[in-house]
Amino acid sequence: MRAVLLSETGGPEVLRVQDVARPEPGDGEALIRVRAASINPIDWKYRRGLSSKQLPAVLGNDISGTVEQSQADAFAEGEDVFGFAPRGGYAEFATSPAPAIACKPPGLTHEQAAAIPVAGLTAWQALFDRGGLQRGQTLLVAGAAGGVGHLAVQLGKHAGARVIGTGSARNREFVLALGADEYVDYTAQDVAEAVGDVDVAFDTVGGATTATLVPTVREGGVIVVIAGAPPEEQAAERGVRAELLIMSPSAEQLAKIAELVAAGEVRVEIAGTFSLSQVAAAHELSEAGHTRGKLILTP
């Protein structure tokens, strides 16, 4: 099969489409013909060697496709499924353990479904499992137009929170149209001067941004981070809880998010769709850090 194999770390030019052996599904796994895979920043972090991964490896984790062969009771050949492919998703075929996939509702395209796993579960787990977000509370989403952020804004609204998003000027109308109540352009305004007393701050940006968000949180509130170390000291000084979330697969949460998308309650923004041979261009876009929604590969 054709797959994007990472054999050495480096720039986008190290991404090569190669013929590799089709993976064999193990006990409790399904072999899936991949119709769409999505790109996450962790993929180019592996490519650059910023996060370690044993090489050679097929990159990618998020897939949607059709079961070709099943060794799992829960899935039958011919069924459309989506979820996590731990042995790589930028490929014509991928294998997934049954607990890491869910049935794709017919109302979702494979592109939409492939966009959900990492970004959707990260948003869900940050808001509800770590943030404990409740109806009527205020949620700040930093990076509200990104893959994770645009889903977090909508999941927060759906849960009955007041949502404030941050991003640059070009994303203002997009984020407000997702349902955000307020938008702060971080290039024009200091976010902590514009926003205060939030119950849950969700930082998808990381770096120097994280510490600047702590003052937006009320005493007793929480800041959840996913892209760097939690700001424990600054948070403790304000009586705020700081949490780092590392997303974990959940077929149940995947199914819930997909239902919301199929029902039109949550919309998945596709920033661009690329063939496997265009993977380098897609990585360049992701790495630039200004993607609106998700980038998709269609093997």
Ligand X SMILES: NC(=O)c1ccc[n+]([C@@H]2O[C@H](COP(=O)([O-])OP(=O)(O)OC[C@H]3O[C@@H](n4cnc5c(N)ncnc54)[C@H](OP(=O)(O)O)[C@@H]3O)[C@@H](O)[C@H]2O)c1
Instruction: Please report, as ranges, the residues that interact with ligand X according to CB under 6 A.
Output: 40-42, 118-119, 122, 142-143, 145-149, 166-168, 171, 186, 204-206, 209, 226-227, 245-247, 286, 289-292
Q: In the complex, what is the shortest distance from the CB of residue 266 to ligand X, in angstroms, rounded to a whole number?
A: 15
Distances (CA, A) of 50 to 96, 224, 288: 25, 22, 15
In this complex, which beta carbon is closest to ligand X, that of residue 92 or of residue 130?
130
Backbone conformation region of residue 8, classed left if phi is above 0, alpha if psi is from -120 to 50, else beta: beta
d(CA 245, CA 243): 6
44 versus 93: smaller Cβ distance to ligand X? 44
Which residues have CB under 8 Å from 19's CB, separation 6+?
Answer: 1, 2
**Between residues 148 and 251, which has the closer beta carbon with respect to ligand X?**
148
Hey, which residues does 224 pair with through a beta bridge? Answer: 202, 243
Closer residue to ligand X in complex, CB, 97/146 = 146
Cβ nearer to ligand X, comparing 5 with 282: 282
Closest CA to 166 of 155, 51, 157, 150: 150
As measured in angstroms, the least distance from the Cβ of 48 to ligand X is 12
Q: Which residue is nearest to ligand X (CB)?
A: 146
C-beta of 118: minimal distance to ligand X in Å?
A: 5
Instruction: Give the rounded distance of the alpha carbon of 156 from its chain centre.
Output: 15
8 A C-beta contact, residue 12 and residue 284: yes
Work out how close the CB of 140 gets to ligand X at its nearest, in angstroms, rounded to a whole number. Answer: 11
> CB 167 → ligand X: shortest distance, Å?
4
